[in-house]
Amino acid sequence: MKLDNGFLDFDPVHLAPTGDGPLNGLRFAAKDVYDIAGTVTGIGHPLYRDTHAPAEHTSPVITALLAAGAELVGKTHTDELTYSLAGQNVHYGTPPNPAVPDGIPGGSSSGSASVVAAGLVDFALGSDTGGSVRVPASYCGIYGLRPTHGLVDDRHSAHLAKSFDTLGWFARDAATLLAVGQQLLPAYHGPAPQRLRPLDEALAMAGDHLAGQLHHLIADGFAGLSAGEPVSLGPLQAFFDAFRPAQAFEAWQYFGDWITEHRPTFGPGIRERFAAAAAITPAQAAEARAACNALRRKVLEYVADGTVLCLPTAPTSAIPLDASDAAVDEVRLRTLCMTAVAGTAGLPQLTLPLLRDERGPVGLSLIGPPGSDLALLQLAARRENG
């Protein structure tokens, strides 16, 4: 199935601004994980939608944006229960990728990235557990922010793995991304960003072509930051190996009872991931969490002094729509090894549409210390303004 756009046309939603403010005149959309009072939060699965009542409350993120003058014009598609990075939903189809027409949009915030890239809204809300804002932003050639874990109010929204879940957003320009952040993020009082340090293992995973572009951007001076020595965190597989079981265990705690009772149909990949999640023991989950904590401490050492880590957001541009399941899984593994760095560490990661391979755009990512989200957004806006 091919969708005309990323909106949930069968569940139209419109909320007018409730206030007058810095977002006046901006239109936005929200991924179908954000509660909107009186509507069902379907999380990308028709059976989940059919077996749940309408939400009683509206997400405070949406409420804050409406109060700042923005207009909500619709909900957007997501992968099934948000457990994918592809953007392909066996029930609802695949939103288009305006930047790579024969490519997937990335997921799980597929619809939000699609409608922003197509110019249908000024910005859109997504969520990111293992890369679900960062990867679609990279594939669709737009800006996207995965905030510091716990920094954005996630009440009245669906979860996949609460220890890693974040609520983020997309825009076509850095100024709009920053304007949204100024409504949702607290001020940052830590060390100001001073230098960019490339992440060696991520560059190796992405290859020489993307690595060369990244080094060139840094050498030319990026928003006034100096170019520091590369950072080595060791094999990124360690981050994936810690993140995967910790995330999966929490996903089963969240959805397991519903899956067991209703026996929903899942598409390729998601079916297997939930089956694997059901088999993870509490002891295995505790071991994975301990590994995540150790890796977090390691990463924090590198961003404690004004350093911002720099890496390609994904190892490739958008995967072809007709790629085999095996090819999708191979790229997914490499991608998760890269996105799990910020994921396990709970750090903010901003992706900017500044790199490109032979098929299309690839994001350039900045990872900063905890709470430095606004500082990263200001860097991007400063670079955009020259």
Q: Dihedral of the CA atoms 326, 331, 333, 337 (nearest 10)?
A: 170
- With a threshold of 0.85, does the pTM exceed it? yes
Residue-level pLDDT at 4: 87
pLDDT of residue 220: 80
Question: What pLDDT does 312 receive?
Answer: 98
Q: How much is the pLDDT for 8?
A: 97
Task: Give catalytic status of residue 132 as yes or no.
Answer: yes
User: Annotated catalytic residue: which of 59, 132, 138, 317?
Assistant: 132
* Residue 353 and residue 136 in contact, taking contact as beta carbons nearer than 8 Å: no
Report the pLDDT value the prediction gives residue 217, as an integer from 0 to 100.
93
pLDDT value of position 247: 98
Q: If 0-12 CB within 10 Å is exposed, 13-18 middle and 19+ buried, where does residue 278 land?
A: middle
Q: Are 105 and 87 in contact (CB under 8 A)?
A: yes
pLDDT, averaged per 10 consecutive residues of the chain (386 residues), comes to: 89 97 98 98 98 98 98 98 96 98 97 98 98 98 98 98 98 98 96 95 96 93 91 97 98 98 96 97 98 98 95 97 88 95 98 98 98 97 90
Q: Of these residues, 59, 84, 108, 157, which one is catalytic?
A: 108
Give the per-residue pLDDT at 287.
98
Whether residue 112 lies in the annotated active site: no
**Is the CB of residue 47 less than 8 Å from the CB of residue 94?**
no
167 φ/ψ angles, rounded to the nearest 5 degrees: -110, 120
Residue 4: how many CB atoms within 10 A of its CB?
10
Q: What is the pLDDT, as a whole number, of residue 221?
A: 83
CB 72 within 8 A of CB 13: yes
Is the preceding peptide bond at 317 cis, omega within 30 degrees of 0? no
Q: Which of 31, 112, 317, 365 is catalytic?
A: 31
Indicate the SS3 state at residue 73.
strand
What pLDDT score was predicted for residue 142? 98
pLDDT of residue 2: 75
* Distance spanning both ends of the chain, measured CA to CA: 42
